[in-house]
Amino acid sequence: MSDIAGELGMEKGPAHRVLAQLVEQGWVEQDEATSHYRLTLKLALLGQRYLDGIGLPELVQPIIEGVASVSHELVRLTVVCERGLAWLASAQGAAPGLMYSPAMDQPINLYTTANGKAWLASMPDELAVEIAIRDGLGKDQGVGKGPRAINTVERLLSELAATRIRGYGLVVEEAEAGVWAIAVPVKMIPSGTVVGTMSIAGPVLRMHPDRYGDLYALLEDAANKLGTVWPRQSSAQV
């Protein structure tokens, strides 16, 4: 409770009353052994019902599975959520063995991931830098930072410029050791509004620059399909 109160800038008394109400309504539960609070599945189920209601999972899953089957790598889709990205769907195309299969509940570091770079490159530099600094750019520690992570504004701006020129975000061991990825933005058609990103990722042992062109073309084609079928109401409400 102390951590929650501190994060929200509240006194412990009001924070306790809010938490007690959330527990009563089923949004939060308290561990009897540790007294720690955690979210229940109610919020996740509410979000899932919303996505099911607009038909998004059924629309996107066949498209990303098609990309996974051709690329033989992990394909993931994000959705723009407030001032960040959230994982929405994934499909695994790699054969058992040397397979990259991260958890889908991890936060997305926007300046060390291909998905993040693809999204940041779609906006003005000033806003991209502001978001990246908020995400931890320039700090020694942080979630989702690999051995080759960008750590300065200058490097970020250079990378965003390169991303815009080539059309896709690229990382090699920037988010985590041993992993590479490329990603493109998903834009609503015909408005051009960026609603998410789509990436292909895998072990660096399979990372060859001569694959970039084919994988980029594969992602672009899939992103165009997604932009065509993406529910119009979801772009304003997700």
pLDDT at 232: 66
The reported pLDDT for the residue numbered 64 is 94
- What are residue 181's DSSP bridge partners? 171, 201
90 within 8 A of 144, measured Cβ to Cβ: no
Contact 60, 226 (CB under 8 A): yes
Q: Using pLDDT thresholds of 50, 70 and 90, give the confidence band for residue 41.
A: low
pLDDT, position 55:
55
Q: Residue 80 in contact with residue 87, Cβ under 8 Å?
A: no
pLDDT at 223 over 50: yes
Model confidence, pTM = 0.74
Domain boundaries in the chain?
Answer: 14-54, 55-237
**pLDDT greater than 60 at residue 53:** no
Q: What is the mean pLDDT of residues 154-164?
A: 96
Task: Return the pLDDT at 238.
Answer: 40
Taking CA atoms, 49 is separated from 23, 46, 53, in Å, by 21, 5, 6
Higher-confidence position of 73 and 51: 73
The amino acid at residue 143 is: V
* Least confident range of 32-41, 104-113, 215-224: 32-41
Of the chain, the percentage scoring pLDDT greater than 70 comes to 88
Q: Which two tokens stand for residue 85?
A: 């990205």
The CATH T-level fold of domain 55-237 is Beta-Lactamase (3.30.450)
**Structural tokens at position 83:** 């001032």
Provide the percentage of residues in the chain whose pLDDT is more than 90: 47
- How many residues are given for the chain? 238
